[in-house]
Amino acid sequence: MSKPHVLVVGASVAGPMTAYWLARAGFRITVIERFPKLRPGGQNIDIRTSGVTIMRKIPGMEPSVRAKTTPQDALQFVNAKGKPYATVKPTGDPSQQGLLSEYEIFRDDLSGILFDLTKDNPNVRYVFGEQVSAIHQEEKGKVTVEFQEGKLPKGEYDLVVACDGATSRTRALGLHSTVRTHMHPINMWAAYSSVSTDYLSGGRACTMYTAVGGRAMGIGPDPAGGNRVCALAVLPRNEADATQAFRTAQKEGDAALRTYVRRHFAGCGWETAGVVDAMTAAPDFYASELVQIKLPALSRGRFTLVGDAGYAAGPTGGGTTLAMTGGYVLAGELLRHAGDIDAGLRAYEETMRPVIEDMQKIPPGIPTAIAPQTWWGIAIRDAVLVALTWGNAAFGWVLKYLAPSFGGDNYNLPEYEWLE
């Protein structure tokens, strides 16, 4: 009897993680990625709570992650003169992490680690430069999928798993919706890139600066040289469809988006003028809206979702952990309900739903406190930061009670009898 064949869409963190566990569950997997190779660059992401537990279940993964963790040793907030006024350091305890995680890693490095764990598995095949163009649910339980680039023929799969991010085109096809149907905007967008200049002069502290108008700049060390940069825009909460101008620039193309980001961050002060010019000229520049994805159900027939495509967490610090947890639980429940994919999908929903709802809880005052709109807002936020960071350990305890992603793993996920 042939192994059930699963199509996984997306080769960033959620895709390879899901493929790893599906292979351990006895499935045959094809992973497709619309880009021609693993995407370079990307923001620093972190592994927390149940993500740490799941990482430790994969032989060799934790040492690989530790070998690639970002070189930053602190997070410091600076004023317009570049003078630090608040500093946060790692807690040293993976079960009670702070703003700076014990497992802080660049997205492309984590994707590479997970890709390396799966690329030589005989049950896992990667196809780059391909994307889904149509999904047809069949009465007999199969899913017929058509592909856009012709690298794969039209074919039947036992299950299709969308792992292609918050703006998942596959989600729209599989759920007969639009890309934005299940999005819950939080009036934020961010731009990322690496830059060749070292604005930190060899320092290892990630540096954050905030300007009026909800504009924040983060600069961190890059082990490859230079810095990794994030420009974050927090738009007024009372503004309807506040990200429309950003999305319009996206649709107009890469050059228009780079110009939009440059204009939005003009006149911020400190080092931002040079940094923004450098980042918007960088080849690995990209920008995206920050949203939460909330679905009434995680599956429709033999189509399901893992990670940001199904439950993007927004500014909670739980996105990577949810992606890792979702891949583990999906494969585990399909294994536990061997031969009954539909029952496995129902169990996946039941197990993940409370985790998703917990991880999507946005802490009080967020995102406004990340980048306030006015000087008064910044002054109040800074005073609170100074008070909270006076004792680093105390700050960790405060965060633990504000957001679940900063505490320990309290989810009691099932243990599965994995195949070798």
pLDDT tens digit sequence for 151-165 = 999 999 999 999 999
What would the two tokens of residue 235 be?
């738009």
| Cα–Cα distance for residue pair 155/384, rounded to 1 Å | 57
Q: What is the pLDDT of residues 341-380, one digit of tens each?
A: 999 999 999 999 999 999 999 887 888 888 999 999 999 9
- Regarding predicted confidence, which is higher, 86 or 294? 294
Dist. CA 359–CA 9, nearest whole Å:
23
Kindly give the pairing relationship between strand 303-305 and strand 159-162: parallel
Six-digit token string for 47: 């592994």
Q: Is 100 inside a domain boundary?
A: no
For range 117-138, the mean pLDDT: 96
3-state secondary structure of 332: helix
For residue 404, pLDDT beyond 80: no
- Cα-based angle 15, 17, 23 (whole degrees, multiple of 5): 100
Q: What is the pLDDT of residue 410?
A: 83
| DSSP H helical ranges for 266-388 | 272-279, 308-311, 319-336, 341-359, 375-388
Q: What percent of the chain has pLDDT over 70?
A: 93
Q: Measure the CA–CA gap between 81 and 287, rounded to whole angstroms.
A: 27
Tens-digit pLDDT profile for residues 34-77:
999 998 777 788 898 899 999 999 999 999 999 998 888 888 99
Contacts of 67 (CB under 8 A, 6+ apart): none
Residue partners of 280: CB distance under 8 A and separation at least 6: 191, 193, 258, 259, 261, 262
Read off the pTM.
0.92
Residue 23 lies in a domain: yes
Closest CA to 16 of 111, 128, 152: 111
Residue at 91 is within a domain: no
Residue 11: which CATH number? 3.50.50.60
pLDDT digit string, tens, across residues 184-243 = 999 999 999 999 999 999 999 999 999 999 999 999 999 888 999 999 999 998 888 899
349 belongs to a structural domain: yes
Q: Is the pLDDT of residue 28 over 90?
A: yes
Which pLDDT score, from 0 to 100, does residue 2 have?
Answer: 78
Radius of gyration of the chain (CA): 21
pLDDT of residue 407: 66
Closest CA to 228 of 197, 254, 202: 197
Domain extent, residue 353, equals: 5-71+106-181+292-363
CA atoms within 13 A on the CB side of 332: 20
Respond yes or no on whether the N-terminal peptide bond of residue 94 is cis (omega within 30° of 0).
Answer: no
Query: Is position 388 within any domain?
Result: no
pLDDT of residue 398: 54
At 97, is the pLDDT very low, low, confident or very high (cuts 50, 70, 90)? low
3-state secondary structure of 92: coil
Report the 10 Å Cβ neighbour count for 342: 13
Most confident of the ranges 15-29, 223-237, 374-388 = 15-29
Instruction: Collapse the DSSP code of 269 into the 3-class scheme (helix H, G, I; strand E, B; otherwise coil) and give the result.
Output: coil
What pLDDT score was predicted for residue 402?
Answer: 60
Tally the domains of the chain: 1
pLDDT band at 392 (very low <50, low <70, confident <90, very high): low
Q: Are the C-beta atoms of residues 316 and 403 closer than 8 Å to each other?
A: yes
Residue 216 domain flag: no
Contact 115, 16 (CB under 8 A): yes
> What is the average pLDDT value for the chain, to the nearest integer?
91
Tell me whether residue 164 is in a domain: yes
For residue 208, tell me if it sits in a domain: no
| Of residues 96, 76, 102, 70, the one with CA closest to residue 88 | 76
Neighbours of 289 (CB within 10 A): 20
Q: Is the pLDDT of residue 91 over 60?
A: yes
Lowest-confidence segment of 207-216, 272-281, 315-324 by average pLDDT: 315-324
